Amino acid sequence: MHDAVSTVLQDVIKEALSKKLKPFDIHEACDLQEHCVPADGLCFWHSVLGSLDFDVWKTIPRKNSGYSTNQRIVKTEEDRARKFMKTTMERVRDRDLETSRCDEILATGLVDVMDIDFIATALGIGVRCTISDEAELGEVEVR
């Protein structure tokens, strides 16, 4: 009798929960907003830098593409992203990431999805990465 009651109770709970749990849009659940960063090969680095000081980053007037409307700021942001990449990759290299992979990232600025966890760990930060439906295979959008 105990097993029968337990089974019925489990079924009732599962049914009640299945009605309450429904698929949800992660943007609604987390109140996420999409912001574009320059697509200059350093987009990962721009994204991290922008998120580290988002209140300042979002005050800069930007085009829909993520580039600042001010060319001096575009240049400053690119230089800052490149410097951040170099500093980070030195830190990552010290953690025994394959040297050829570090060299490739430094040469191109491009970070593969597989590298994000390692780089984030080296920086001591969390990175949420989503790949948009519009992205071509291999291109990453970091939010």
Could you read off the pLDDT tens digit of each residue along the chain, which spans 143 residues? 556 666 666 666 666 555 555 554 555 556 677 888 998 999 999 999 999 889 999 999 999 999 999 999 999 999 999 999 999 888 887 776 677 888 899 999 999 888 888 888 888 888 887 766 766 545 444 54
Q: Which residues, listed in sequence order, are joined to residue 94 by a DSSP beta bridge? A: none
**H or E segment at 55?**
helix 54-57
What pLDDT is attached to residue 33? 77
What pLDDT is attached to residue 134? 66
CB atoms within 10 A of CB 141: 17
What pLDDT is attached to residue 135? 60
Round to the nearest angstrom and report the end-to-end CA distance of the chain: 53
CA pair distance 52, 31, nearest whole angstrom:
18
Q: Which residues, listed in sequence order, are joined to residue 141 by a DSSP beta bridge? A: 130
Instruction: Answer whether 45's CB lies under 8 Å from 86's CB.
Output: no
What pLDDT is attached to residue 118? 82
Q: Quote helix, strand, coil % in the chain, to nearest 5.
A: 55, 5, 40
What pLDDT is attached to residue 113? 86
Environment class of 19 (CB within 10 Å of its CB; exposed 0-12, middle 13-18, buried 19+): exposed
What pLDDT is attached to residue 139? 46
Q: How many Cα atoms occupy the beta-carbon half-sphere of 23 within 13 Å?
A: 0
